[in-house]
């Protein structure tokens, strides 16, 4: 009450916005409407964030698959250029060709990194050892530009020449890996393997340049 007296004595009256209680000034809290407005704004923001994530998910999956395929191709190429040996059936073997292969289908969802080794009774690539298979989610893979409907691309060791099924790639037609979203066919990417050995990735481009 002493504070109230001082305020009244100094100002003449107690401000309407300030009420005094036993423990000091009592301030007004949020109204129910204000709380509901804040909750509505939070729900709206969360909804917009989730919708944005859903819209970009097919693109993210396609780009991740394209990077994975390109990385596997480059790994096979590097293995050939460096003459990397591989263990096959517990034996360290010289590999004469490294490459990747996929299901002979327009809707393959996986690739396999593999190496071929020669034996005295058969030339390369009569025998192969499978190293790793990668499965991609919610995308399908279609490959064109290979003779005879082949479903593998490989690099000879140690020169790294690009081949498919034992035949060199067409000098004017690169091997074209098209990775397409199963949720949205308009979202796709390309991985292009050129006869020179160059490997490049492209987004939303119809053909390898």
Instruction: Give the tens place of pLDDT for each residue, 115-140.
Output: 877 666 566 766 666 678 888 889 99
Tell which wins on pLDDT, 109 or 77: 77
Structure tokens at 60: 């993210």
> What is the Cβ-side half-sphere exposure of residue 48, based on CA atoms within 13 angstroms?
6
Residues above pLDDT 90, as percent of the chain: 17
As a CATH number, domain 42-203 is 3.55.40.10
pLDDT tens-digit readout, 38-69: 888 888 887 776 665 556 888 999 999 999 99
Asked if pLDDT for residue 12 goes beyond 90, the answer is no
pLDDT-based confidence at residue 206 (cuts at 50, 70, 90): confident
**Can you say whether the dihedral through the CA atoms of 199, 203, 206, 209 is positive or negative?**
negative
> What is the Cβ-side half-sphere exposure of residue 133, based on CA atoms within 13 angstroms?
9
pLDDT-based confidence at residue 2 (cuts at 50, 70, 90): low
Q: What is the mean pLDDT of residues 10-28?
A: 54
Tokens 């990385």 belong to which residue? Answer: 71
Beta bridge partners of 164: 167
pLDDT-based confidence at residue 188 (cuts at 50, 70, 90): very high
The pTM assigned to this predicted structure is 0.68
Residues above pLDDT 70, as percent of the chain: 69
Tell which wins on pLDDT, 8 or 131: 131
Tell which wins on pLDDT, 181 or 114: 181
Q: What is the mean pLDDT of residues 4-18?
A: 51
Tell me which range, 53-62, 99-108, 172-181, is most confidently predicted by mean pLDDT. 172-181
Burial of 194 (0-12, 13-18, 19+ CB in 10 A): middle
Question: Domain spans of the chain?
Answer: 42-203
Output the CA angle 130-195-66, nearest 5 degrees: 55
Tokens 């160059």 belong to which residue? Answer: 198
Check residue 209 and give its pLDDT: 87
160 near 77, Cβ under 8 Å? yes
Check residue 85 and give its pLDDT: 79
């Amino acid at each position: 009450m002493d504070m109230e007296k001082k305020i009244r004595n100094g100002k003449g009256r107690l401000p309407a916005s300030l009420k005094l209680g036993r423990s000091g000034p009592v301030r007004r809290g949020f109204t129910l409407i204000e709380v509901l407005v804040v909750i509505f704004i939070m729900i709206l923001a969360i909804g917009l964030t989730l919708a944005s994530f859903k819209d970009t998910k097919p693109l993210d999956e396609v780009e991740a698959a394209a990077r994975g395929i390109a990385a596997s191709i480059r790994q096979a190429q590097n293995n050939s250029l460096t003459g990397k040996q591989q263990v096959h059936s517990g034996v360290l073997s010289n590999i004469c060709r490294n490459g990747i292969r996929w299901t002979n289908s327009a809707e393959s969802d996986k690739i396999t990194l593999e190496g071929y080794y020669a034996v005295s009774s058969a030339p390369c690539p009569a025998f192969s050892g499978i190293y790793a298979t990668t499965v991609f989610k919610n995308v399908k893979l279609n490959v064109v530009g290979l003779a005879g409907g082949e479903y593998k691309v490989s690099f000879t060791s140690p020169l790294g020449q690009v081949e498919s099924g034992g035949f060199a790639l067409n000098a004017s037609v690169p091997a074209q890996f098209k990775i397409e979203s199963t949720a949205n066919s308009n979202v796709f990417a390309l991985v292009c393997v050129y006869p020179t050995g160059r490997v490049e990735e492209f987004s939303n481009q119809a053909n390898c340049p």
